[in-house]
Amino acid sequence: MRLWVAWQPIESLVEKNLPDDSFYYFVLARNLADGGQATVDGVSPTNGFHPLWLLVITPLFVGAAAGAALPIHLALSLAALFDVASVYLLVRLGQKLSGRSDVGLIAGLLYAINPSVILQATNGLETALGMLTLLLFLNQLERVVRQPSQRNGVGLGLLAGLMLLARTDAAFLFALALLALLLAAPNAARLRLVLTAGMVSIVVMLPWLLWSHAAVGSLLQESGVSIPYTIRTRLALEHGAGLAPQLRETLRQLASPAAWLRGDFSGLPLAPGLLLWALVLLGLRKRGLTQPQKLILLPLLLSSLTMILFHAGLRWYPRLWYFVPTSAAFALCAALAFQHPRIQARLGHLLLALTAVYFLASGVLLWRVGFYPWQREMLAANTQLQQLLSPNDTLASFNSGIYSYYLEQRVVNLDGVVNHNAFNAIQQRDLLAYMRSAGVDYLVDTDSAVRREFAPFLGADVDDLNEAAVLTEDVGYGLGAMRLYRIQP
C-alpha cells in the first residue's frame, strides 16, 4: 500500500498527502547534492529541517533537474520501506511486551493498515524515518527495562540521539522514558544509566547543534518557531497581548472541529477513532499492565498527549504528521486489549476485523478527498509563471516549496520556515524591504497569505502592491485568489 502511494503521479500526490513543506526537503537535497549548501534559494541560510532525513535523501537528488519526478518517487519509496521496517519493530515490541506472538502480529497489522500512517509515512517529510528511529528506541528501552546495564544505557542514548536528529519533538518521549526509568527503581545504578543515556544522546546531537548555531545563530529550528511567531504577533496586534486572548486561541486550537473530525490528534482516521481509543483504554484498565508494559506504554501515551498540548495548545500550529507516534501507541494498546483474558477469541477476532474494515473504508475516503486539494492550483501555476517570468527574475512566496522545486528561476521563501533572513524581516515587520534587498522581482501567493496572514509583516499597505496578474480567480477553501505582484526596486 505504501509503495502504491509512493508511485502515484505527483499531480495526484500534491492533492492527497504531499504538503508544500515536503518540497523544501527536495530542493534542499538537490542544492546540497549539487552545491554542498543547505539552502532553498541558493543564498539564504536555514536550519529549518530535520537533518537525518535530508542526509538520507540527498544522494537521490544528485543532478536532478527542475521538477524531476523520479527522485521524489524514490524518496517516497525509501520512506515506504522505512515504515515497513517500523511494522516489523512494532511486531517485535508487541511480542516482547506480551510474551505472545499473536499480540505482536496484531500490533503490526493495526499500524500497517492504518491509513493515517500510510498517508503520512509517504508524505515526503521525515515522518517515516522518525517512526523508524522511535521504534528502535522503544525496543532498546524494553531491553533496558529487562537488563538495566550501562552498556544498554549507551545504546539507549545512541538511538535517542538518532531519534532526535530524525524529529526534534521526540524529546518529549525521551524525557518521559528516562523519568519512568528513574521512578520505577530510584537507585544509584539506575541514575547512572539515565545520565549515561542523556549524555550520549547529547554527543550524538552535538554536531547538528553546533552547525545550526553557526548557520543561523540559534539551536532551535526556525521551521518550528517562524509560523507560531507570526500567529502570536498577529493575535497580539488584533486582540492585545493579554492572557485572555491567548487562552481563547489555545482552546480554539485544541477544540478544532476539523482536527477532531479528521482524526489528527488521535492518530486514527476520522472521528470514530475516538470511540475506538475509549474502548481500548477501558480494556487496558480492566486488564491491568505489568511494570515492563507500563514503562513502555506510559511514556509513549503521555508523550502523545504532550504533543497535542505542545503543538496545538502552545505553538498553535498542529500538523497532521506530528501525531503518527500516537498511531503506534494505539497499535500496541489495542493489541494488548484485544487479547484480554475475558475476551473470547471469536470476539477478539471480530473486533480486529471491524477495525480493519474501518481503517480501509476511511482510507478510501481520505484518499478521495485529499489533505491538500488547493495545492493543485499551486502546481498548475508553475506553467503560468514560467510564461510570465523571464529566466533571470527572482520570485518570492510565503508557500514556496512547490515553486522552488519546479521553476528554473530563483525562488525566495518568505514565511521564514527555510529562510533565516526572511524570519529576521518578519520580526522587524519589514518584508517588503527584505524582498527589495534580496532582488525579488515578483511575489506570488493567495489572498489569504498576502492580505491576512502576513499583511502585518510586509512593512507596507497591501493595497500598495503592484498586481501584475491573477493566476486563479478563487483557489477555494477560504484562500481567495492567487495573484502575482510586481515588486518595484
CA 205/CA 464 separation, integer angstroms = 46
Q: Is 443 helix (H, G, I), strand (E, B) or coil?
A: strand
Identify the burial level of 9 via C-beta atoms within 10 angstroms of its C-beta, where 0-12 means exposed, 13-18 middle and 19 or more buried. exposed
* Residue 281 · residue 333 · CB < 8 Å: yes
CA 163 → CA 72, 173, 272, 358, 426, distances in Å? 23, 10, 30, 31, 31
* Residue 307 · residue 322 · CB < 8 Å: yes
Structure-block grid coordinates of residue 260: 477532531
Q: Record the pTM.
A: 0.96
* Residue 6 · residue 79 · CB < 8 Å: yes
Residues 6+ away with beta carbon under 8 Å from 186: none
Per-residue pLDDT of the chain (489 residues; tens, 9 = 90+): 999 999 999 999 999 999 999 999 999 999 999 988 899 999 999 999 999 999 999 999 999 999 999 999 999 999 999 999 999 999 999 999 999 999 999 999 999 999 999 999 999 999 999 999 999 999 999 999 999 999 999 999 999 999 999 999 999 999 999 999 999 988 999 999 999 999 999 999 999 999 999 999 999 999 999 999 999 999 999 999 899 999 999 999 999 999 999 999 999 999 999 999 999 999 898 888 999 999 999 999 999 999 999 999 999 999 999 999 999 999 999 999 877 655 666 777 888 889 999 999 999 999 999 999 999 999 999 999 999 999 999 999 999 999 999 999 999 999 999 999 999 999 999 999 999 999 999 999 999 999 999 999 999 898 889 999 999 999 999 999 999 999 988
Computed on alpha carbons and rounded to an integer, the radius of gyration of the chain in Å comes to 23
Q: How many CA atoms lie within 13 A of 129 on its CB side?
A: 22
CA 169 to the chain's CA centroid = 10
Q: Residue 179: phi, psi to the nearest 5?
A: -65, -40
CA 299/CA 332 separation, integer angstroms = 13
Which is nearest to 483 in space by CA: 443, 432, 433? Answer: 443
Is residue 319 left, alpha or beta, with left meaning phi > 0 and alpha meaning psi from -120 to 50?
beta
CA 142 → CA 87, 135, 296, 403, distances in Å? 17, 10, 7, 45
Q: Residue 444: phi, psi to the nearest 5?
A: -130, 135
Count other Cβ atoms within 10 Å, centred on residue 271.
14
Greatest pairwise CA separation for the chain in angstroms: 75
Tell me which residue has cell 554536531.
207
Structure-block grid coordinates of residue 35: 552545491
Q: Is 49 helix (H, G, I), strand (E, B) or coil?
A: coil
CA 162/CA 204 separation, integer angstroms = 7
